[in-house]
Amino acid sequence: MKIAFVVDPLVTFKIYKDTTFVMMREAQARGHEVYAIEQEALYWQKNRVSAFASRIHLTGHSSVWFQAEAAQAHYLTDFDAVIMRKDPPFDMEYVYSTYLLEAAQAEGVKVFNRARGIRDHNEKLAIARYASYIAPTLVTRRADLLRDFLAEHQDIILKPLDGMGGASVFRVRQDDPNVSVIIETLTQLGQRMIMAQRYLLDIAQGDKRILLIAGKPVPYCLARIPQAGETRGNLAAGGTGVARELTPRDLEIAHALGPKLYEQGLFLVGLDVIGSCLTEINVTSPTCFQEISQQSHCDVAALFVDALEQEMK
């Protein structure tokens, strides 16, 4: 197969932990051709979606890990599969890219994750579709409603709807002297909606990343445990990742959501679960393949390419 990955610049990859890197490595190891497309290289002309794509060869070395051929113009229909792995932020340029990928799908291109599926699932708000699995949650821009929610639950998390890696996530208690400024800052004085969730004590045991591939759960999750004195378990915020087998509750959530998300074109999904509660549904560029594989007997990249090959039959 010829597989094109829509990615950030390859020179920015941290290959010791990058999930897209191990996807590429596994694909190449099986004899598939691997191509890289940066977001700005996508374009539409003469009723066709095209891109400047570079065929890349992984070297197996950590210092110079890839060799890239000169980028050439390709119709996206030249590729058997296009895998959207551009990292957030989910800004308008990202949205425009999904429009182009959706047009390519209309030409017959197989895109993973499907463009509309990505657009339709804000990684914070998508949990509203599965309310029976979530903690008490409020989405609003109104300070009075946020204060009422805090008064009811006493200890809450406030976060933007477009954040990633734990950025701008605040834990707020009823007696916090900074409540007003936190609300004003996050909502931009009432101009932006944010999410409030009841604080979950189970965060001490980790914010679990559960991976779904083609609607089915990977048997191990990565519990991201906050460092001392920190609320957030995100690895980008200094959390420690520990691979664990899925619990019965994890499996319940995964089996309930997996088929529904897969039906909407979401081939790879990262569910975030704290304790027994679903907190986020990650669809743009889910990670944690390497951390899980390194700590268990489960080769997640192999599971991913297995499922991708099955999709292409």
Helix, strand, or coil here: 65?
A: coil
Q: Which of 18, 38, 232, 234 is catalytic?
A: 232
87 as an active site residue: the answer is: no
- The reply to whether 159 belongs to the active site is yes
Q: How many helices (H) and strands (E) does the chain have?
A: 8, 18
Answer yes or no: 124 catalytic.
yes
**Helix (H) or strand (E) segment spanning residue 207:** strand 207-213
* 249 assigned to active site: no
Helix axes 179-187, 143-153, angle to 10 degrees: 130
**In the numeric block, which tokens belong to residue 112?**
């993973």
Contact 160, 125 (CB under 8 A): no
* Catalytic hit among 18, 123, 207, 272: 272
Q: How far apart are CA 238 and CA 257, in angstroms?
A: 29
Q: How many CB atoms lie within 10 A of CB 213?
A: 20
- Catalytic, 230? Answer no
Catalytic residue among 38, 208, 224, 291: 224
Is residue 14 among the annotated active site residues?
Answer: no
Q: Which of 159, 208, 234, 291 is catalytic?
A: 159
Q: List the catalytic residue out of 113, 122, 234, 282.
A: 282
Any catalytic annotation for residue 232?
yes
Does the annotation count 280 as an active-site position?
Answer: yes
Pick the catalytic residue from 25, 102, 209, 250: 209
Annotated catalytic residue within 114, 124, 198, 208? 124
By annotation, the residues acting in catalysis are: 124, 159, 209, 224, 232, 272, 280, 282
